Structure 1
């Protein structure tokens, strides 16, 4: 009984799984496609957010560049070293402002690429969403959906590579490390000493600005990246298990289909039991049906005909009468024993 019960449960489970796949298989696969689209959309938006944060470093670079340009203007007016003109200090400041201007221009060239990649990604997502609800066989739509998913995955990878945060970090490290010091052009030792002290102060400020810029780039790179998303084709039978919680009515119908024969057997058993209980205590003539009555009458007629045609039941003749000197004795009801006379 235990083995039969376990086997019945296993059969019902497998059959209900197949029935659920037949009832809700296409809907489950479409649910899988919709979930995949949401994952890809989250990955695209997160990657675009990180790329925009990296593009925001352009403002930090511009601020540092503008500070060095302002210092160079002050040096040209003689406010820093006390020597007006475009001397050694002015050239150092202009040197660094030019490097930062080049970095700023390089970052600016990435902005259209980032925007175009994000727009293309949204177009691919729109097509993928349309594939999840289009009419027709879901398997055919899954093939095109897989192609679009591959395109979108490549675009997300390209969008990650467009981030300028690593570039800004390396440029900030080189900003203070690679300084070409010009020859001091003061007319006397006192002026050259003032220029040297001013250049030392400029290098200290340069190191501070570079450290600030490097930390900003590191903060962008420390942002949690988007989770890797990969579309995996799935069959309808596996989809109804993966998304079983969304198809509870279909599972109930699938199990009900398997249990329907058992319900029918139970109904018949209860009905037959009720019929038998209703016949208990009733006489035969009360429960005799018309068909049974006809069959009984036909049987009686057959018995009568057979008895009339049987030689053992014919009337005895005079020659077969018993001898006068013999008599009979009845020993028991229905049994007669002949007795000879003395």
Structure 2
């Protein structure tokens, strides 16, 4: 069981890389502007990691057939690299395979090579220790996140009892309470999924003009409408589990920034003036710099000065971005490109587990199956 986990953890890195590479190549070539569509596309690498991880290890894998790739005779290992189309879905494949003399094929992944290399050069138990370490660190990160979240929520509940209700807005089947906080300081934030709220610290409320305050509220309502808190918590939890995957944290931060920009766009679409919202951002930044900068667990209004610059430039129309290509401007071709990209991300394989022709092995071993 432990070596299966090790295999899946190692291959998760390549799952993210191949998914991220395909998405970045597509969004760059199509010149996809920052918006909900690009946010969806950049979320595909996370789906790729979960999808490949859930498929488990195929029974034709050398790992389940106890075949040491470093002990097989020369000429039986092959590496194939290619780009093609299967069932109208473009695919990128880079696969390792071992061929038996009777024609049986065994799939080899990068994770398999690492497992047997460590067993040969370090210790057969070393991959197990790595799995335990990965799980232990992931558990600590999850517990820490849950503890900080509960601690913050208890503080907020106590603050809510002494707060002043400003107004209540209705979004579909949910009511959003907007209140002025006496305890918190700095930037406004939103929280709650079924019972969402918007907390506006008193210093922010006193510093903003009525128009700026409404622009800030419209921004936070944009987070509530898109369930940004729920998505953020899910991605952060997965990030704690796959903390060792290079690029995961970078992609999380990029998506978080995009959600802030999209919330700005929604605020403008709701009637906020871009210049007024930009002015509010600057004032809130000044308040945050003067304060102590306490922890904000839920959907922060802004975090980094560079993000502030990007958001203001986006609001004022300063970025000189190239327009999307005509194929992306057309809705039908955009849907087709998105369909192809989703299929390509999920089906492409860069040195990962793959099913091969093996008459004696069928199916896959999943980490949650009874016979694994």
More helix per residue:
1
More strand per residue:
2
- Normalised by the length of structure 2, the TM-score is 0.21
